[in-house]
Chain A
Amino acid sequence: MNSVHPTLVGRDCRARRARPIGRFLLLLILFASICTANGNPVIIGSKKFTESYVLGEIAKRTLTDAGIPAEHRQGMGGTIILWQALRSGQIDVYPEYTGTIAQQILKSDRLLSLDQIRDSLAKFGVAMTEPLGFNNTYALVMRRSEAQPLGVRTISDLRKHPELKIGLTHEFLDRQDGWQPLRERYALPQRNVIGIEHALGYSALANGSINVKDAYSTDAKIEQNDLVVLEDDLQFFPKYEAVLLFRLSMPTNAIAALRRLEGTLDEKRMVRLNAEAERTKNYTRAANLYFERGAGSGNTAGESFPQKLARWTLRHLQLAGFSLMLSVICGIPLGIVASRGGAIGQAILGFASIVQTIPSLALLALLVPLPFFGISIRTAIAALFLYGLLPIVRNTASGLQDIPRSLRESAIALGLSPTTRLWEIYLPMASRSILSGIKTSAVINIGTATLAALIGAGGLGEPILSGLDLNDHVTILQGAIPAALLALLVQWIFDLVDRVVIPKGLRL
């Protein structure tokens, strides 16, 4: 790979989180429900980075121009999530790269020809277009001002400078075609290697915290930050030619329309589209450049900021509110059972605690392949529901256990039935603790709901994630500030609820 063109894109720095359990997911997918797209609009998926968004928009425009209704679900996640969505029929098409298909999807440890890839995919009911025309491969980059004095021009040259600090995306660190084999091939001596988020890595490179990082050959930042791509003199990196993956069951006219895109996008052109997308944050408009016509009219393009904010916030509240409701409905009875102790009580508290320790991304990725869930708001709600359980279960249990024995016995000695004791004595007495558990869950849910955007469930996480991808602080804040305000608001509302729900005698 030599002299890769400096170009654009922030690629899927997120797929890596789903990656370590990829094998497990693929197993689970066998059991997942398969629902086929039925005539209605062709559903296009895209990964969470600019270039994928733009390619998705181009595919959509191509189909609609051919009179085929199409819908684009932007930024659904990383490779594994998109591949599963394609296989299970939740989407019909998505842009992918040949190297990723061979390594990540087909798990091949050798280079595959296009025909070999095509044959393997056919077993899954999936087909691939010819390359769209550009190769977006991995590369190592350095600041020009640093590389030139050190005389580093190729990856082999790094051998002479073991002191250089290397910052890599987590996906690259993990990939089968990533850091480990690269280091072996080149016998690189560097020990100082850290994992860093893609967009943040560019900042780290700019301020000298790291000296070398991984990039994509069509990455806009390479030009913008005056970086040099180190020549892959041992031809380590496989080709990453952009293609469209689609379901064989897709209507033939749709397939025919998409095939017209083959070989029409060279690197120069893709760079220009990516740059336009990053500049305007409007993927529809960038895609329209491909068709070299006027401004487009995408479904989200004409939305003003207040409209977008209202849409995000409403969805955010739906996610957090609905999941909280489920947590309350299940958490309080579980807490009551747990308060009685014993093996069952321990099991309940143990389960809720373990759920809490699963990283939210891993939990999302675990739920995605299950039937009924998939890439949907249901998955996000289910994950938030599970996270919301622990504070409610634990506070209900401890609130009940904290009731003095003398008062429990007074209630028994008085002759009250067990049901009456629970409803009229124990639960009201534990109400403060239970409510504070619900409040904790609500605030956690508001925060965690931002991650729902990772699986395309929307909410205020949407601007946060695109902001991260674009390294654009204003966009991040557009989501982060409303989310923080929402958490404060929820806190305040619950303080009011306290006054209504907690009996007066406990508040004096």
Chain B
Amino acid sequence: MSALIGLADISKRYGDAAALHPTNLSIERGKTTVLIGPSGCGKSTLLRLIIGLIEPDFGSIEFDGAMVTADNIAALRRRIGYVIQEGGLFPHLSARANVVLMARHVGKSQEEMHRRLSELCELTRFSDKLLPRYPVELSGGQRQRVSLMRALMLSPQLLLLDEPLGALDPLVRAALQKDLKEIFARLQQTVMFVTHDLAEAVYFGDEIVLMNEGRIVQRGSVTDLREKPAEPFVLEFINAQRALDFT
């Protein structure tokens, strides 16, 4: 099966600083690819390039066999779900309105939206009694579940998660990690997951992509990373995370 996403020699600079050096990456369908690395390593930049929030200076992106261009990016966005750390829910809309916003605009019927909403509540373990609430009336974990529902509403081919659990406390985070993993498996969803937490990467990742200073350092399983580090930085990163976890 061909890759869903293919990045070819894609690069991005902000002034003199290179956010992303020329990079090649392909993402397999049905798998969870975790992008990990220290802050500013370019992992979020990669996600933002794919969803078209920023444009690459050079290189091209292929999505499901088609080149991404300025003309088709708007349509492609509807086939991609995007969840960010704070959830990105619109504060003036209820949880329900946030979730169905885009479906309403592409002209889905009330019936269809209602059916999909029930499915998603069940899937994300979100009580439908909370749907009329506004974002400020929900907890952090609940907000992320709503954000996930919004991203999944139109059954996207690709789900982009940019540190979706970063702002949650450890108990909520653990529960949501478990639920997310189940959801990805049930939907056989293609996922790109950005985190800076190695344990989380290991937990989710079929494949881990380690980045540093705008470059992909190594790609593979956690065992590959540990046993066959491509450069000293890989071990340094792994050991630093361990030290944090066990002290």
Contact = CB atoms under 8 A, between A and B. Distances in A.
Interface of A: 406-407, 409-417, 420, 424-425, 428-429, 431, 503-506, 508
B51 interface: yes
Contacts of B92: 428-429, 431, 503-506
A409 B150 CA distance: 14
A508 B92 CA distance: 10
Contacts of B88: 406-407, 409-410, 413
Contacts of A431: 92
Given A407-B90, A505-B91, A505-B93, A415 B134 contact: no
B66 interface: no
13 contacts: A407-B90, A410-B82, A410-B88, A412-B52, A413-B77, A414-B77, A414-B102, A415-B74, A417-B74, A429-B90, A505-B91, A506-B91, A508-B136
B82 to A, nearest CB: 4
A411 to B, nearest CB: 7
A413 B91 contact: no
A60 B78 CA distance: 76
Contacts of A416: 101-102, 105
Nearest to A505: B134
Contacts of A413: 51-53, 77, 80, 82, 88
Interface residues of B, number: 28
B134 A425 contact: no
Nearest to B74: A415
Interface string B81-108: 0101110111111100000011001000
B137 interface: yes
Given A413-B51, A429-B91, A505-B92, 9 more contacts: A409-B48, A409-B53, A410-B84, A412-B77, A413-B53, A414-B82, A415-B77, A417-B74, A505-B91
A508 B53 CA distance: 30
Contacts of B91: 407, 429, 505-506
A406 B78 CA distance: 18
B135 interface: yes
A428 B137 CA distance: 18
B78 A415 contact: yes
Nearest to B73: A415
A381 B51 CA distance: 49
A279 to B, nearest CB: 61
B150 to A, nearest CB: 7
Question: Closest 5 CB pairs between A and B?
Answer: A410-B88, A505-B134, A503-B92, A415-B77, A413-B82
A389 B105 CA distance: 34
A337 B105 CA distance: 25
Contacts of B93: 503, 505
A429 B93 CA distance: 10
A424 B92 CA distance: 9
